[in-house]
Amino acid sequence: MAVDAKTALVGCDEVVTRVKPGRLMSIDLLRGLTIGFMILVNNNGSREAYAQLQHSVWNGFTATDLVFPTFLFLVGVSTVFSTASRLARGDSKQSLFLHTLRRAVILFLLGLLVNSFPHFHWHTLRFYGVLPRIAICYFVVATLYLISPKWKNMAVLAVGLLVGYWALMRFVPVPGYGVPVRDVPLLDPDRNLVAWLDRHIFAASHLYERTRDPEGLLSTLPALATTLIGLLTGIWLRTQRALMEKVRGIGFAGVSCLVLGLLWNFSFPINKKLWTSSFVLFAVGWSLLLLAVSIWMFDGGTEGETKPVKRSRWFTPLLVFGTNAITAYVFSELLAGGIGSIHIQPGINLQRWLANGILSAVPYPAFASLLYSLGFVAVCWLPAYVLYRRRIFIKV
């Protein structure tokens, strides 16, 4: 990471570079891995997919459950670098805020497009979702960082969100059901505050699971904490410490979050669909460790060195996704909606027809499902590769 002698304080307790920092290839690679895996697990060939390629049914976790929080974590990290870059170019905070607002609105509208494609029925339109949650978390966290970039403020807010969300879910009575633990089981699938609130905001036809939504309104609070922890990581990465010291710090934070998340799991279970506080810590622990390993591999060297290692062709596929992440994700969702709406015969759409064709040749349902998913990822990768080769990076 490039460091210039010219430095200035930008509101945090550490001295950070004021000039535009060198781009960390590790962030693009980890973002690419996240998007690629997200496309993979979102497009299983059948319900017989391997357990780790599906979301956990309720409490507990799988590898799939860690994908979305890792992306939100990286949104926080990238916010620090993009803000520093624009400030170094002389952009005002007002222009940065307008830029943030525009990006958030575009992301939210893309989410509505993805959720409704290709039918666009108002009565079934889902207002929640992956892109709307990214839009909200990005807008709130980036705006807060513009207002007060001190890391201590962000840390206190993140802790407050996690503890506050736990208190809401544990002690606030669910109207019509009673107090959690005393009257209803803690985190009951339908009789919890998150599900109750979503049902009173939208009709069942607007909710992903009809009685609740995994990206509901109230669970956005701990998702904000996920993004804030990413922001704190970005602030740490821009300090004047040696790169390997930063890597060790990120690794230590990752292990600490994992342990805290597992301990909290005993009283407040890890649950992705409710984005519980224990889930936030557990998932961000893995995100931190993945980032530490990625920086060590691709942006570091031996102790005391800060020159990036030579790029390897083996990791180009990840860079292809990582440098056009939102574009690749939107394309994958539109493609899935498109082939799902094409019917080969009554009751069999193009997606099912392709998956059945693979299954007839590979009589192992889980493996056949994986082959379909890999093929789908490859199809999504090709247009992203064309953009990458032409040095076209679509910034939402």
- Whether 1 maps to a domain, the answer reads no
- Whether 396 maps to a domain, the answer reads no
> In the predicted model, what is the mean pLDDT of residues 4-30?
51
- Whether 18 maps to a domain, the answer reads yes
- Whether 239 maps to a domain, the answer reads yes
- Whether 394 maps to a domain, the answer reads no
Instruction: Say yes or no to pLDDT of 9 above 60.
Output: no
What pLDDT band is residue 299 in, cutting at 50, 70 and 90? confident
3-state secondary structure 157-212: HHHHHHHHHHHHHHHCCECCCECECCCECCCCCCCCHHHHHHHHHCCHHHCCCCCC
Number of domains in the chain: 1
Instruction: Say yes or no to pLDDT of 354 above 50.
Output: yes
For residue 7, list its beta bridge partners. Answer: 17
The pLDDT value recorded for residue 238 is 92
Instruction: For 161-175, write each residue's pLDDT tens digit.
Output: 999 999 999 999 999
Please check whether residue 384 is in contact with residue 320, taking contact to mean a CB–CB distance below 8 angstroms: yes
- Spatial CA neighbour of 367 closest among 55, 49, 40: 49
- Spatial CA neighbour of 137 closest among 160, 180, 104: 104
Report the C-alpha gap between 46 and 370 in whole angstroms: 9
Instruction: Say yes or no to pLDDT of 207 above 60.
Output: yes
- Whether 395 maps to a domain, the answer reads no
Q: Pick the range with the lowest mean pLDDT from 194-208, 266-280, 287-301.
A: 287-301
Q: Which of the two residues, 370 and 121, has the higher pLDDT score? A: 370
> In the predicted model, what is the mean pLDDT of residues 123-152?
94
| Measured CA angle at 86 (ends 85, 90), to 5 deg | 115
Instruction: For 234-251, write each residue's pLDDT tens digit.
Output: 999 999 999 999 999 999
Instruction: Say yes or no to pLDDT of 302 above 50.
Output: no
- Spatial CA neighbour of 23 closest among 70, 72, 68, 80: 80
> Cis bond leading into 180, ω under 30°?
no
Instruction: Say yes or no to pLDDT of 372 above 80.
Output: yes
The pLDDT value recorded for residue 298 is 84
The pLDDT value recorded for residue 301 is 52
Domain, as residue range, for 248 = 7-389
The pLDDT value recorded for residue 347 is 84
Residue 390 has φ and ψ, to the nearest 5°, of -90, 5
- Whether 2 maps to a domain, the answer reads no
pTM confidence score: 0.90
- Whether 274 maps to a domain, the answer reads yes
For residue 8, list its beta bridge partners. Answer: 16
The pLDDT value recorded for residue 256 is 98
